[in-house]
Amino acid sequence: MKRNVKKLSTMLLTSALMLSFAIPANAATETEPLSVVRESSVSSIVLTPSHDIQNKEDWNPTTELSTNNSENVYSTMALLPDQVRNLSNYNTDGKKASAQLATTVTAPYFETKATFVGNSQVRFLGTSPLYADELSIGETYQVKGLSISAGFPSGVGFSGANETVTYSKSYKHEWAINHSFNGITFTGAVIYSVNQSVNATASVGTNIYTAVAYDSSTI
């Protein structure tokens, strides 16, 4: 009888150990904040937060688009290093809206091309209500130089010519829009400077809240 009891207790202990390794202690309580993909291509991805998220600080998407390295290879100047400029800014109206940009601009040594790759985000910061009736993101990418032409991803939202490319999207009943992009390229005889702005517009009833993030750099 004692031998059977000992054998049974050994089996129960072994089973408990197997379960402890198979099921993490926090598996039932942890949930990963989700994003809703509103637009997706090789050059442009737009995410909005899942409506399951109640705490706005829980949503911090990190979408990175791969870049085509051949964009920055120039046969006549392959041995010269590319110039890299980082554009970064966060701004809020202090109440209900915020705008943020984080962009890398790459240009060859002789400043004949500038390629924008980065991420923009706008938010409605209010808590009551949690969502804006409508939230809009507006982006402007711009260079200054001589004989400039613009290239940008195909798709709804982008437009541009010469020294300026713009992007805009609006969604109803949202509190954040995250836009990752690449393939925004300007070429010309020479490029002097680059700049970018991100505009947030949140509409709640008859109230409109705005914020603008802006940064620029010489090349």
Lowest-confidence range among 73-77, 127-131, 146-150? 73-77
Lowest-confidence range among 2-11, 120-129, 136-145? 2-11
pLDDT at 11 over 50: no
CA dist list (Å): 216 to 104, 181, 197: 11, 18, 9
Asked if 213 and 99 count as a contact pair (C-beta separation under 8 A), the reply is yes
**Where in the chain are the domains?**
34-218
For residue 65, name the pLDDT band (cuts at 50, 70, 90).
low
Asked if 158 and 167 count as a contact pair (C-beta separation under 8 A), the reply is yes
What percent of the chain lies above the pLDDT cut of 70?
Answer: 76
Query: What pTM did the predictor assign?
Result: 0.78
What is the structure's pLDDT at 165?
Answer: 97
